Every structure is written in structure tokens, then in C-alpha cells.
Amino acid sequence: MKVGVYTSGGDAPGMNACIRAVVRTALHAGKSVVGIYQGYQGMIDANFEEMTSRSVSNIIQLGGTILKTARCAAFRTAEGRQQAYEHIKAAGIDALIGIGGDGTFSGAEVFSREFDIPVICIPGTIDNDLYGSDFTLGYDTATNTVIEAIDKIRDTAASHDRLFFVEVMGRDSGCIALNAGIAGGAEAILLPEKSMGIDTLCSQLETAANSKKASTIVIVAEGEENGGAYKVAKEVKERFDFYDTKVTILGHLQRGGSPSSFDRVLASRLGYAAVKRLLAGESRVMVGLWGNEIKATPLEEVLNRKVFKLSEDMLEMMEVLSI
Amino acid sequence: MKVGVYTSGGDAPGMNACIRAVVRTALHAGKSVVGIYQGYQGMIDANFEEMTSRSVSNIIQLGGTILKTARCAAFRTAEGRQQAYEHIKAAGIDALIGIGGDGTFSGAEVFSREFDIPVICIPGTIDNDLYGSDFTLGYDTATNTVIEAIDKIRDTAASHDRLFFVEVMGRDSGCIALNAGIAGGAEAILLPEKSMGIDTLCSQLETAANSKKASTIVIVAEGEENGGAYKVAKEVKERFDFYDTKVTILGHLQRGGSPSSFDRVLASRLGYAAVKRLLAGESRVMVGLWGNEIKATPLEEVLNRKVFKLSEDMLEMMEVLSI
Amino acid sequence: MKVGVYTSGGDAPGMNACIRAVVRTALHAGKSVVGIYQGYQGMIDANFEEMTSRSVSNIIQLGGTILKTARCAAFRTAEGRQQAYEHIKAAGIDALIGIGGDGTFSGAEVFSREFDIPVICIPGTIDNDLYGSDFTLGYDTATNTVIEAIDKIRDTAASHDRLFFVEVMGRDSGCIALNAGIAGGAEAILLPEKSMGIDTLCSQLETAANSKKASTIVIVAEGEENGGAYKVAKEVKERFDFYDTKVTILGHLQRGGSPSSFDRVLASRLGYAAVKRLLAGESRVMVGLWGNEIKATPLEEVLNRKVFKLSEDMLEMMEVLSI
Amino acid sequence: MKVGVYTSGGDAPGMNACIRAVVRTALHAGKSVVGIYQGYQGMIDANFEEMTSRSVSNIIQLGGTILKTARCAAFRTAEGRQQAYEHIKAAGIDALIGIGGDGTFSGAEVFSREFDIPVICIPGTIDNDLYGSDFTLGYDTATNTVIEAIDKIRDTAASHDRLFFVEVMGRDSGCIALNAGIAGGAEAILLPEKSMGIDTLCSQLETAANSKKASTIVIVAEGEENGGAYKVAKEVKERFDFYDTKVTILGHLQRGGSPSSFDRVLASRLGYAAVKRLLAGESRVMVGLWGNEIKATPLEEVLNRKVFKLSEDMLEMMEVLSI
């Protein structure tokens, strides 16, 4: 068996640790491994490289992905996938392990069925918005990156009487916003999953002001309904004109950085399990963390089930703790 | 109801975030809260302070514990506990929340039964060695601290041909050593739970050397059988005299530092849950994380059940990935 | 002698370390010290607190300023200053040490002359834009904060084919932008001090693209002529439509964070020197770092001399190194 | 001209940033560059590699040295140097740039004279113990690494009543110890350059205890006269038996880590200047930072002048500020 491994979609910290685990576990089992560069684009371009144990030396601590990643429109066409298949076949690759998010998985699912090639997927996205794993690779690191930013802003916020808005990633998922908001002691959090208008926000801010909080920080997930941190800051400022508002847009720095211990261990376990399951004959599943166990879920189920990881409990707690 | 909150035993990152959660949740429920300084010693010394929402402002990000901690021999005597009870009663405290490890819990268990005072415990120790919670406060932060150290050592290890030994905390528990070892890409790990003599270690190191690894790092948990990093380094050096060996003893820096996002969220959830359960009439339980849920376990069970958090799977994986 | 110490203007990492040095050096010399909260506003409001050695315990590592800071319009009026003087006199304060930037210094200069009160100033601003000190407090920390952000963005930039824009502080001073740009390996830097239109920028980016750079990051100082990172990104995107551009606005997180070793040592030295010079009878000077020496410069000179800390050499080097 | 670049002796953060600057500056000037692996050993082994602009992509932020380093006994013999010269000549290398400490420089000095080959040296060592540069590469980063460790220990020290000893690098130079001690707010510092017996230390600790300091941390440079942190801790404990003492040995983690902004800018400037001076016909000099200027000093002078970078002022200040 020759295993092809690739990363696809948005990159996430821990992808390199996961590639390392896939490569070394497969080599240890006597299989050879080919790195596919730039995800599905690399299959279409035949952008391959034989991997040895040394190819993945000293990468466990690196952010990003040594295999690069790209979005690939061509792979959504039958012709594109046909070409990818021919290149893969020519290279002798007869099984795939793909690391990424739902776009990656739907590509893998279709491709595996069309060409009857076994594939195992691994959840790698900072958004933590996939069914079938309590945590996705990169989410823990991204949340730590956000709280380091909030901590720094808190220093200056506590020295002045100002209102700070921090925009974090999350088009459809408020996981980073909610958890980093709780961990950063934010006074309010605007999430994609939960409607909160400027009026409600302003009344929360008034409560904070009345309880003599020394600083006020609002976390704004990019997908929340009011249009992002700059717009929210502008509207709030118009209502409370005494406030001096300041905005930080964290942007893609949330995707980078050396992975946390949690993400590296998770990446190692998922990569190791993916190879084990591939060798055991499984296919079209995603390996994921359930409690302390690694389990596999059919890709179809992962793709079709909506997951809501923000419990009402957490939302309620957030309000209680920010008093 | 007036709730007394204290930290006891070794301090751990996240204790402050947890104190904050306890104080604010209780205040929000209309109860008052008293901070007890230096754990059981503070009960005996009547070292109390009324807590307000502002007492716990801007502490979520701080390592250590604002309530201090101490080991207290007097509390192990009936006289000591009697005195503690009288001070607590005089201060109007009629329920307790204690954050710490098994020493803290056994004190709490006895005290609660003797004087019929409700008590809820919260697992706070970097060792992650308690039954009843997948994770204890501080463990995630400590593991991150260790891998940052390993990453730095890896830089210099990869520039020279040297062998590095890093001693990490863990008298009886290899949790930090194993997970930081996996996350740091260590070539070998010596654990308290698993016997590994110098001979086996040397043969692992030879394998690593033969596979042309650019650097070699061995993690030594302080409680492993060979007597710590200095002794292990000395014995290894005697056998491989070509090796230049270097030792780092991380010591108590593993206890400090700003808590990770994971620890802050866990601390918030556990503190919040502890108050909720106290208000619901529970006592003599420890709140803990099971998968994604917060559950309570009787203190008696926590104290009597041995937990072994190192699965054979992880140990096996560690060897495969370090090739 | 009773010394009043205050921080004013924008806060900067190292201010707390500096307050600590001022307090302890004065106490050691047998003088008493009063902390003045919120800068000049605190003089007008008589917001004072006696400082002991313990008031400044465990603050050397904290960002922000425990004495808070505020901008104060009233102090620009003769009435405001009169009131400030009366409060200061009533509190027995007969000498001042002020930490801040040029706004702080001009207030101090006028006040000292009007009421014949000795004052020593200390340069505390992340912008590093003052004559009389090679470095100002907070600049080194802020630059480190920026490069950590750039490093994280580089991870994801190197995994995709994208163009990143990072907006950093600096309305009139490009010190942070240039140094963080060099240290972060940026492909281009837009500075307030040096005109660079979109055309020139685009041609630099084309050169970078042609040399097959794996990632491209542009640093945009907020005061540069094209209107900030969003505007620059939009214009560049219109010309190179194949590029996917991403923007990060670091904002006030650059002001926070634990001060670097450099800033803490500098803060200690400047605070120590300020008290020594006050005791030696000096007034209306700013203490600053010249090479490895601490020297004093008359406030008048600091305020009137324009400093240009970006040498042509550095600008030229920046271009050579980003090839 | 073909420039050979190498790193030698102990590695230091910033070496990679410096290699990048040397390579790109030389290429920009139309010269070719050869990387020499493992310092002088690599000359003897003809371990060379042609460097392109892409060879040094994305390394500015990495600790260690991509060119590796080694100590080399053979180069101290005439035969070894002869062999090195023949390999260098065969490879067409006709000028050298060496990054390292005094061992590196004396090798370079002899070799340059013996074979009439131009050589420029760059100070790269965390010890900051060389004449001719206010700062050496890696020193700023190492000091920051130490204060992060001290800050973490301070958290736990302030939670308990304990005495902590932190051993830092510095066999002959107390630069890291003194500056990190000041920046970390240490209560006492033991330096190689200044005798301090256990009696004096104990009386300082008593003063600290009497002034009710919440925590006590002693920095021990490895080269101080009492034999290192473990020995000092043991002796202190015997005298103050109420104290619980804890020891951390930072070891080689001080050599690693991503270089600070200061070190990256310094590395870039020194690498750039080294090439410029080589092209201008200079030889047998070390480039260094004097205030804000880059100047060159003859290697002979660097090697023969003793430098004492700890001013009495700093030592005095340290005591005043730790009260």
C-alpha cells in the first residue's frame, strides 16, 4: 500500500504534527507515503513527493502546513477528478488521508466513491465546527492566540477609560469567540449563532459601566449579524459619545503560530489512528475525539449533521462571570 | 448562605480564574463570599476577607492564586479542625468551596463530616492525577510550558550533535511527561508508571542515532525510577562517551504562568458548577470534566480510586512517532 | 522631599517597572512618594495615594500602568494648572516625576516653570519618536508584539498563495513599522516618513512574486499616506486581481503585554536615574539612553528637536534583505 | 568573489537571521555565497552548499542555525587548517564571514593570516561578553527567555512562602544573570564577576524577609563561586531551616527560541555590514554595535581586550530596587 497524504482548505496549527504522525505511522507499518502538495490542486497537477521519516523531522512545532494548501475549483468537476485519479494511479498511490474541513471532506467522499479509493479524513480547522470530533486541529491554538491578544488589550484598557472591540474569526461558528471571550473575561460577545442587536449590547455595556469595571472588551465574531467590529464600534460610539472606542481585527494571525500541546497531541493521535484504520480496511470516515477516545464517523454523517457546540449553559455562564 | 472559598496544596494556573468564577456566580445568586487565605492554615488563623465582584477583577489571566496556599499540618489534628470550625462559624461562613488536589480533598471530606458543613471541591493540580475529571486545572498550561521549553532546546539540539535531558514534574504521575514528550517530539520518555532502565533507554537512543535524527531529547519525569535527569544523564554518558549530554531541570516554573484558554474555560465552568451544586444542596463531591460535560463525583470515590491516565496506546504511539 | 510620580498620555509596557524604580529609589533615599492617578487629571482631582515599597511589589512584569493614565484638556488651561498646583501643595508634594510622551513633557515644562516645582521626565511611549533617548519605554516590547503577529501570519501566508497587509501603530513615526518589518522579513513597508504610492508598492510586489517568494507580507504604518491597510489592500487587489488579500489591524494590542527584558531594565535605569537627578537638584530635564549611558536633556530641547530615527541605511537594507 | 559563511561555537538566536542577511546582501551585490556546515569542521570535511535567496527564506524567525555548528579540535592544528584551506580553495571560496564567539574569532584570525584570505566576523553568543559590540546576537533573546521563566516562578513563589533559586548561563559573564535579575525583580543575584559568599546572601535574604516581600527569587549564574544553584540552595537551607527551597536549572533552553526583534534587527544589520565591509576590502575585523552605529574592530583587539559590561551602577541599582 502507498498512502497519499494532503492538507486542504484553510490551514490550521497542528496540520504539520498530523502529517508527521501519518508519515511515521505508515512507514512504521512498512507502507510508503507520498506527500501531495496543495491538496486537490496537487492531485490535478501531479505535485507529489515521496516522504521519509526525515521529511517530517522537526516540524511538529511549526504552524501552517509543509504540504501547502489551496482551494481548487477544478476538483469540483468530473474532468478534474478524473485527471487527479490518473495522476494518483500513475504515482502508485492507492489510499488517501486528507486533513481539512468540510470542503475537504466532501471532495474526499465523492472521489473515494467515484474511483473506489479508500480515504480517511482528519478534522483540521480552527473553527471547531464539525460533527464527529469534540475538537478540531488548530482550534485550541487559535483560541490561545486570541486570549493572548485580549490579555494585551486588557492591559491598556485597564489603564484608560475606553471601550475595545476585537474581531475574531468565525463566519458561521462562534466557538472561538465564545471560548476566547470567556477565557479573556470579555464583557460582551457577539456570535453568529445568536442574535444580539446594538441595543442589547449597549444595555450590557451600561451594566458593566455601572458596576465600575475598570475595562470593557467586546468580542465580535466576523459572522455576527451587525457587520463586524468596525460597524459595531461606530454604532456604539454614536450612542455613548463619551466612550473612546478602539478596534482590533486579528485576521489571519489566528491561523498561524506554533500549535499548543493539546493540538499536537490531538494531531498525533488522529494521524496515528487514521493510518491504523486505513490499514484495517476502513474508508470514507473521519477520525475524531470523543471525550478521551478516538472514534470514526462516516464522512456522510459528518457532512450532513449540523453541530451546535455552544451550549446555553456556556452563554449563561458568560454573562454571570462578566459582572 | 455565605460561601468560603480557598485554594490549598500546590498552586496551579487557573486557580485565579476559578476563584473569580466562584465569587461572581455566588454573588450573582445573591450569596456573599469570603476568601480564605492560605487554605486550611487560613481557617485556623481566621485569615478571611469579604469578596466583591471587584476583588476578582483582572485576575483571570494570572498564574498562582490570589488567596495564597500553604500546607497545614495542624489541620490534620482534631484540635486544629475544631479551631478552624470555630473561626469559620464566627465569620458566618456556612459552606465551603476548596480548590486543590487530593490532600485538599481529604481535609475537606473529614471537615465536612465532622462539622456537618457542606463542601464542594474543584480539581486544581498540574499533575492531572485525579479520578473524576479528564483534566485538572493547570495541567494544560503546565504541558504547554514544558513544550515551549522543549521547542527551545530542540533549536540548539538540532544545531549540535548533543543529547538533552529535560526533567519535568510528576512524582507519581507521568501525564505531563508523556503528553509533553509526544507534543515535543521527544526521542524517549521516562515515566513513574512504567519501568525503563538505562539499558532500554540506551538502546532506544541508539536506534534514534542510527535513523540519523538531527537531535535527541529525553524527557525525565521527576518520579521515574532511575533518580532524575542528572543521574540518568550521567549513566548514559558513561556508556556513550561520544555524546555531550546537557540537563535542564524545569522545576517550579511549570507551576506558574498565565493559564491557557483551556484552563481558563475549565476553571470558569468548574467554579460556576461548584456554586450551582452547592446551592442545589450537594456536598462532599468534586466537580469534574467528563468528555464535554461537567459531572460530580463523591469525594470518597475520588480519594479511593486510582486513576491511570496513560493508555498503552499512547505509549505505543510515542515510540512509533519518534522514529 | 515628597515626590509625586505619574504616568500620562498613551500607556506603554515598562511604565510599571519604571514606577517601581522611582518609588523604591526615593524610599531608599529616605524620601516619601505619592502616586498620582490618571496623570494631570489626577492632580486636578487630587487623586493621590501614598506609595510604599509594597505598593509596587510584583508589578515589574505587568503591562499598562497601575497609576492609570488619561488625557486631560483642563491642564492646558491656567485655571486647571492652578487647581493642580493647589492640590499638590496641599498634599505636600514638592517634586514631580512624569512618565509619558511629548504631551506629558510640555505639560510638565509649563507647570514646572509656572509654579517653580522641580520635575524630571521619563520617555514612555511605544512610538520611539522622542529626541534625547535612543529608545523610549515600551517600544521594544511593542516591536516584539508586532513580530510575533507577523510570524503567525507568515505561517499561513507560506501555506497559501496570498498577500497579507498588517497595520501597525505609528501616526507620525515609522519606527515600529520599519524595525518590525525588517525583523519580520516583510516584503514591503509603508511609512509615514517616506512617501510610497500604490504604483511603487505594486512594482515591489511584482519583484517579490517573480523571485518566487513563498509568502508576501506588507507592513502598513497607520500614518502612511495611502490611508491605512484596508485602503491599500483594496487598491492593490484591484490591480492584481489574481491575489487574495487579507488584512490584520493590530490596534491597541501593541500597547499591552508584559514588558521585554530590555524595557524592564531601561525602565529601572531611567526611574533610578530620575530620582538621583531630582535629589541632585536637576529639573526640567528628560532622562534618556544614549548608547549605554543615561543622560539628561532639557525638556525644551526634547520638545523642540525633531528626531528622525529611520536612517537611509536601514531603508536600503530593508529592500536588499527582502529579495 | 565567492563568500563562504559559517556559524561556529555555541549557537545563539539570531544566527539564522544573520545568515539570511549575509546571503542576500552578497547576492544583491552580484557575489555568490556558499554555506559552510558545522563551522571549521565543515571546512575540513568540505561540507559546503551553494546558497540562493530561497535557501534563507522563512528562517529569520528560527532559533539555532541552519548551517549547524560544532567545536573542532582539528582546526587548532596547522594540518587541519591546511586541509580546510585546500577545500575552500577547491570550492572557489575566496572570502569568509564567520558568526560566533571568541573561539570562532581566534580561528578566523589565524586562518586569515596564514592563508591570506579576507575574513569578517560577527559576534554571536548569548553571553554578551565580547569587546567591540554593545550587544552580541542572542543575548537579548536569552535574557527574555530567562525573565519569562522568572515570571512564571514568581507566580508560584508569591502563592507560597518559599525561596527559589534559578540557575542561568554565564560561566565567566554575569550579563544575563544581572540583567535578567533586574528585569525579573530578583531579590539577590550571584555573579561570576563579583564575589558573594553564602553569609552575605543570607543577610540579604533576611532583609527581604523582614521587609515582608511576598516572594524571594535568587538568580545564580553558573560560573559564580559557590558552585551553582543546587549547592547554594542546600547551604542556605541549612541556615534557614524554615525555608522550603526550590531549584530550577534553565540550561540550554536559554540558547534556543525565536529571536527577539532586537536580535533580528541587529543580526540583519551586522550581516549586511559584514558583506559591505568585505566588498570594501576590509578584513580581520569584527562588526559590532556601538550605540546606534555599526562599527568594525580589529579581531586582534576584540580578542585581547577584556570587557566588563556590569557597571557598579547597575549592581547598586539592583540592590536598591529589590527592597
The tens digit of pLDDT for each residue in D18-28 reads: 999 999 999 99
pLDDT of residue B161: 75
Ordered alpha helix ranges (H), chain C = 15-28, 39-44, 78-90, 102-115, 139-157, 175-184, 198-210, 229-239, 261-279, 299-304, 312-321
Q: Do residues A60 and B321 touch, judged by C-beta distance below 8 A? A: no
Q: Which residues of C touch A152 (CB under 8 A)?
A: 63, 145, 253-257
How do residues D26-58 score in pLDDT, each as one tens digit? 999 999 999 999 999 999 999 999 999 999 999
Mean pLDDT of chain B: 94
Q: How many CB atoms lie within 10 A of CB B60?
A: 27
Q: Of B191, B240, B196, B195, which is closest to residue B216 (Cα–Cα)?
A: B240
Between chain A and chain B, the number of residue pairs with CB atoms below 8 A apart is 137
Q: Cβ(D40)–Cβ(D107) under 8 Å?
A: yes
Category of B311 on φ-ψ map: left (φ > 0), alpha (ψ -120 to 50) or beta: beta
Residue A90: predicted pLDDT:
98
DSSP B74: G
pLDDT (mean) for C296-308: 92
Residue-wise burial string across A250-266, b where 16 or more C-beta atoms lie within 10 A, e elsewhere: bbbbbbbbbbbbbbbbb
Which pTM value belongs to this model? 0.97
Burial class for A49, CB neighbours closer than 10 Å (0-12, 13-18, 19+): middle
CA A164 – CA C56 distance, rounded (Å): 27
Q: What is the pLDDT of residues B161-206, one digit of tens each?
A: 789 999 999 999 999 999 999 999 999 999 999 889 999 999 988 8
Answer whether C179 sits within 8 Å of D24, measured CB to CB. no
Q: Please check the confidence at residue B108 and state whether its pLDDT lies above 90.
A: yes
Could you tell me which residues come within 8 angstroms of residue C128 by beta carbon, excluding any fewer than 6 positions away? C135, C136, C139, C173, C175, C176, C309
**B6 at interface of D, judged by CB pairs closer than 8 A:** no
Q: What is the pLDDT of residue A240?
A: 81
CA distance C85 to chain A (A): 23
What confidence score (pLDDT) does residue B93 get?
98
From the CA of D209, how many Å to the nearest CA of chain B? 17
A263 close contact with C: CB closer than 8 A:
no
Q: What is the least distance, in Å, from the CA of B134 to any CA of chain D?
A: 24
Averaged pLDDT, C24-52 = 98
8 Å CB contact of D156 and B250: no
Q: With 90 as the cut, is the pLDDT of residue D82 above it? A: yes
d(C-alpha B226, C-alpha D274), whole Å: 50
With CA atoms as reference, the chain A residue closest to C61 would be A155
How far apart CA B259 and CA C256 sit, in angstroms, is 17
Q: Using a CB–CB cutoff of 8 Å, tell me whether A27 touches chain B.
A: yes
Task: Say how many Å lie between the first and final Cα of chain C, rounded.
Answer: 58
Q: Closest Cα of chain D to C231: distance in Å?
A: 27
> Which residue, among C296, C261, C252, C292, has the nearest Cα to C137 in the 3D structure?
C261
Identify which of A146, A158, A292 has the shortest CB distance to residue B134: A292
User: Tell me, what's the pLDDT at A281?
Assistant: 98
pLDDT at B76: 96
Question: Are B68 and D160 in contact (CB < 8 Å)?
Answer: yes
Query: Which residue's C-alpha cell is 485527471?
Result: A83
Would you say residue C161 has pLDDT above 80?
Answer: no
Chains contacting D (3 or more CB pairs within 8 Å): B, C
- Nearest by CB to residue D11, choosing from B62, B156, B250, is B156
The mean of the pLDDT values for chain D is 94
Residues of chain D in contact with residue C60, where contact means CB-CB under 8 angstroms, are 183-185
- pLDDT for C36 equals 98
Compute the distance between CA of residue A23 and CA of residue B163 in angstroms, rounded to an integer. Answer: 25
Do the domains A140-255 and A2-138+259-304 match in fold?
yes
Give residue D313's pLDDT. 84
Q: What is the pLDDT of residue C208?
A: 82
Nearest CB among B156, B246, B256 relative to D155 is that of B256
Rounded to a whole number of angstroms, the CA Rg of chain A reads 22
Give, to the nearest 10 degrees, the angle between helix C312-321 and helix D261-279. Answer: 90
CA proximity to C34, closest of C80, C72, C90, C116: C90
Rounded CA-CA distance D16/A280 in Å is 44
- The reply to whether C161 belongs to the active site is no
pLDDT beyond 90 at D99? yes
- Quick one: angle between helices C15-28 and D312-321, nearest 10? 90
Q: Is this complex scored with an ipTM above 0.90? A: yes
Distance in angstroms (rounded) separating the CA atoms of residues A155 and C204: 37
Residues of A in Cβ contact (< 8 Å) with B154: 58, 61
pLDDT in the model for residue B95: 98
Q: Which residue of A has its CA nearest to C247?
A: A251
| pLDDT-above-90 percentage for chain D | 85
| Residue D129: closest CA among D223, D22, D236 | D223
Instruction: Answer whether A212 sits within 8 Å of B54, measured CB to CB.
Output: yes
Measured between alpha carbons, how far apart are the two ends of chain A, in Å? 58
pLDDT reported for residue B244: 83
Q: Cα–Cα distance between C11 and C13 in angstroms, integer?
A: 7
Chain D closest CA to C18's CA: distance in Å? 10
The region, left, alpha or beta by phi > 0 then psi within -120 to 50, assigned to residue D37 is: beta
Cβ C135 vs Cβ C294: under 8 Å: no
Range 61-90 of D in CB contact (< 8 A) with C? 61
C124 strand-pairing partners: C137
Beta bridge partners of A216: A163
> Residue C323 pLDDT more than 90?
no
Confidence of residue B292 (pLDDT cuts 50, 70, 90): confident
Q: Tell if the CB–CB gap between A182 and B323 is shorter than 8 Å.
A: no
Check if B260 contacts A (Cβ < 8 Å). yes
Who among D185, D258, D261 is closest to C143 (CB)?
A: D261
Contact D277, D285 (CB under 8 A): yes
Identify the DSSP state of A249. Answer: E
Q: What is the mean pLDDT of residues D263-292?
A: 97
Closest to B251 in 3D by CA, of D146, D246, D220, D236? D246
Which carries the bigger pLDDT value, residue B214 or residue D80?
D80
Which residues in chain A are contacts of B317 at CB distance < 8 A? 21, 25, 268-269, 272
Is residue C84 predicted with pLDDT exceeding 90? yes
- What are the cell numbers at B29? 445568586
Q: Which CATH class is domain C2-138+259-304?
A: alpha beta
Question: And the C-alpha cell for C25?
Answer: 529609589
Encode chain A (323 residues) as per-residue pLDDT tens digits.
999 999 999 999 999 999 999 999 999 999 999 999 999 999 999 999 999 999 999 999 999 999 999 989 999 999 999 999 999 999 999 999 999 999 999 999 999 999 999 999 999 999 999 999 999 999 999 999 999 999 999 999 988 878 999 999 999 999 999 999 999 999 999 999 988 999 999 998 888 888 777 789 999 999 999 999 999 999 999 988 767 899 999 999 999 999 999 999 999 999 999 999 999 999 999 999 998 899 999 999 999 997 767 777 888 999 899 87
Min Cα separation D70/chain B (Å): 6
Q: pLDDT at position D116, please?
A: 98
In chain D, where the domains are located: 2-138+259-304, 140-255
Which of A140, A46, A125 is CA-nearest to residue A302? A125
Asked if C177 reaches chain A (Cβ–Cβ under 8 Å), the answer is no
Q: Name the band, by pLDDT with cuts 50, 70 and 90, for residue D315.
A: confident
CATH no. for A140-255: 3.40.50.460
Q: C2 — contact with chain A (CB < 8 Å)?
A: no
Residues of C in Cβ contact (< 8 Å) with A69: 159-160
pLDDT digits (tens, 9 = 90+) for D252-273: 999 999 999 999 999 999 999 9
Determine the residue of chain A that is closest to B17 in CA distance.
A183
pLDDT band at C290 (very low <50, low <70, confident <90, very high): very high
Arithmetic mean of pLDDT, B224-240: 93
Interchain CB distance below 8 Å, A20 and B214:
no
Q: Which three cell numbers stand for residue D125?
A: 553568543
Across the interface, do D252 and B154 touch by the CB < 8 Å criterion?
A: no
Give the strand order in the sheet containing B216-221: B188-190, B216-221, B162-168, B244-249, D244-249, D162-168, D216-221, D188-190
C-alpha–C-alpha distance, residues C124 and C101, integer Å: 6
Buried b (16+ CB within 10 A) or exposed e, D153-172: bbbbbbbbbbbbbbbbbbee
DSSP string covering C252-281, please? GGGG-SPPPHHHHHHHHHHHHHHHHHHHTT
**Pairing mode, if any, of strands A48-51 and A32-36?**
antiparallel
Give the C-alpha distances (Å, rounded to integers) separating D295 from C127, C133, C135, C289, D132.
26, 20, 20, 19, 8
Helix or strand holding residue A250 (H, E): none
CB-nearest to C58 from D134, D154, D180 is D154
CA distance A150 to A144: 10
Average pLDDT over residues B222-240: 94
Split at pLDDT 50, 70, 90, the class of C292 is: confident
Report the residue from A182, A213, A268 with minimal CB separation from B265: A182
Q: Which residue has the higher pLDDT, A60 or B214?
A: A60
Confidence label for D161 from pLDDT (cuts 50, 70 and 90): confident
Give CA–CA dist C296/A185, Å, rounded.
42
- In angstroms, the CA A69 to CA C158 distance is 9
Q: How do residues C149-160 score in pLDDT, each as one tens digit? A: 999 999 999 888
Chain position carrying cell 468564577: B21
pLDDT mean over D174-193: 95
Q: Do A63 and C156 form a contact (C-beta atoms < 8 A)?
A: yes
Q: Which of C27, C54, C183 minimises the CB distance to D265?
A: C183
What is the reported pLDDT for B77?
A: 97
